[in-house]
Structure 1
Amino acid sequence: MVDWSSTNALAVGLEDGVYLWSACTSKVTKIQDSHTFLNDIASVGWSPRGKELAVGITNGDVLIYDAATLKLVRRLGGHASRVGCVAWNSSLLSSGSRDGNILNRDLRCQEDYVSKLSGHEQEICGLKWSPHENELASGGNDNKLLVWDTNKTTPCFEFNQHIAAVKAITWSPHQRGLLASGGGTADRTIRFWNTLKGNQINCIQAGSQVCNLAWSANVNELVSTHGYSQNQIIVWRYPKLSKVVMLTGHTTRVLYLSVSPSGESIVTGAGDETLRFWNIFPGVSSGVSSYENPSLLSPNRLSIR
Structure 2
Amino acid sequence: MISITSTELNYLVFRYLHESGFTHSAFAFGYEAEIDKCNSVDNMVPPGALVTFIQKGIQYLELEANLSGSDADVDEDFSFLQPLDLITKDPNELQNMLKSKKENLRQQKFESNKIMNDLSQDDTRRERVQETEKEKAIEHKMEKKRLEKEKEQPKGEYKEIQHTYQNHTEKHEDKVTVENLENRAHGGPEPMEISQSPMSLPDDTQCDDVKILNGHTSEVFACAWNPSAPLLASGSGDSTARIWKIADKHWDSGVQNEPVNVMVLQHFRESTNEKAKDVTTLDWNGDGTLLATGSYDGQARIWSRDGELNSTLNKHKGPIFSLKWNRKGDYLLSGSVDKTAIVWNIKTGEWKQLFEFHTGPTLDVDWRNNVSFATCSTDKMIHVCKIGEYRPIKTFSGHQDEVNAIKWDPTGSLLASCSDDHTAKIWNLKQDNFLHDLKEHVKGIYTIRWSPTGPSTNSPNQQLVLASASFDSTIKLWDVELGSLLYSLNGHRDPVYSIAFSPNGEYLASGSMDRYLYIWSVKEGKIVKAYTGKGGIFEVNWNKDGDKVAACFSNNIVCVLDFRM
TM-score range (shorter-chain normalised) is 0.7 to 0.9
From 536, 548, 556, give the equivalent of 1:253.
536
Establish whether residue 52 from structure 1 lines up as the match of residue 275 from structure 2: no
Q: Is the 8 A contact 1:182 1:213 kept in 2?
A: yes
Q: Which residues of 2 match residues 1-305 of structure 1 at below 5 A?
A: 1-6=222-227, 7-14=229-236, 15-23=238-246, 26-35=260-269, 38-67=276-305, 70-73=308-311, 75=313, 77=315, 81-91=318-328, 93-98=332-337, 103=341, 105=343, 107=345, 110-112=352-354, 117-118=375-376, 120=378, 121=380, 125-141=404-420, 143-147=422-426, 159-176=438-455, 177-184=464-471, 187-196=472-481, 199-204=483-488, 205-208=490-493, 209-218=495-504, 220-228=506-514, 231-245=515-529, 247-280=530-563, 282=564, 305=565
Q: Give the superposition deviation at 1:95.
A: 4.0
How far, CA to CA, are the matches of 2:333 and 2:419 in structure 1? Answer: 15
Looking at structure 2, the residues matched to 86 and 224 of structure 1 have their Cα atoms a distance apart, in angstroms, of 21
- Aligned identity (percent) is 19
Secondary structure at the counterpart of residue 452 of structure 2: coil
- Structure with bigger strand share is 1
- Determine the C-alpha separation between the residues in 2 that align with 1:239 and 1:83: 36
Using the TM superposition, give the Cα deviation of residue 251 of structure 1 relative to its aligned residue in structure 2, in angstroms: 1.8
Structure 1 residues 134 and 22, CA, compared in 2 at 3 Å: closer, same or farther? Answer: farther
Distance 1:178 1:66 in 2: 34
Q: Cα distance 1:29–1:222, how it changes in 2: closer, same or farther (>3 A)? A: same
* Number of equivalenced pairs: 274
Map Cα deviations across residues 166-207 of structure 1 (whole Å, 9 max, x no partner).
Answer: 3332221223542111101xx12212234455x133241234
Higher alpha-carbon deviation: 135-144 or 270-279: 135-144
Assess, with a 3 A threshold, how the Cα gap between structure 1 residues 99 and 166 changes in structure 2: closer, same or farther: farther
Alpha carbons of 1:160 and 1:117: their partners in 2 closer, same or farther (altered >3 Å)?
Answer: farther
- Looking at secondary structure, tell me which structure has more helix per residue: 2
Residue 265 of structure 1 deviates from its aligned partner by 0.2
What amino acid maps onto 2:352 in structure 1?
Q
C-alpha distance after superposition, 1:25-64 (max 9, x if no partner): 9431122452256433211111222122222222444333
Q: Could you tell me whether the CA contact under 8 Å between 2:343 and 2:352 is conserved in 1? A: no
Contact residue 66 and residue 73 of structure 1 kept, 8 A: no
Q: Which SS does the other structure have where 1:110 is aligned? A: strand
User: CA separation of 1:83/1:141 partners in 2, compared to 1, >3 Å: closer, same or farther?
Assistant: farther
Unpaired runs of at least 5, structure 1: 283-304
What are structure 2's unaligned runs of at least 5 residues?
A: 1-221, 249-259, 356-371, 381-400, 456-463
Indicate if the aligned counterparts of 1:97 and 1:123 stay in contact, CA closer than 8 A.
Answer: no
TM-score by length of 2: 0.42
Q: Under a length normalisation based on structure 1, what TM-score does the superposition of the two structures give?
A: 0.73
CA distance, structure 2, for counterparts of residue 118 and residue 23 of structure 1: 35
Structure 2 CA distance for aligned equivalents of residues 82 and 150 of structure 1: 30
CA contact (8 A) 2:263 2:307 kept: no
Residues 129 and 266 (structure 1 numbering): CA distance in 2 closer, same or farther, change over 3 Å?
farther
Q: Letter of the aligned partner of 2:468 in structure 1?
A: S
Distance change (3 Å), C-alpha of 1:140 and 1:248 = same
Match of 1:290 in 2: none
2: CA distance, partners of 1:41 / 1:232: 23
Are the equivalent residues in 2 in contact too, given 1:52–1:65 (CA < 8 A)? Answer: yes
Deviation at 1:74, TM superposition (A): 5.2
Tell me, in whole angstroms, the C-alpha distance in 2 between the residues paired with 1:150 and 1:95: 22
Give the distance between the partners of 1:100 and 1:152, measured in 2 at CA.
26
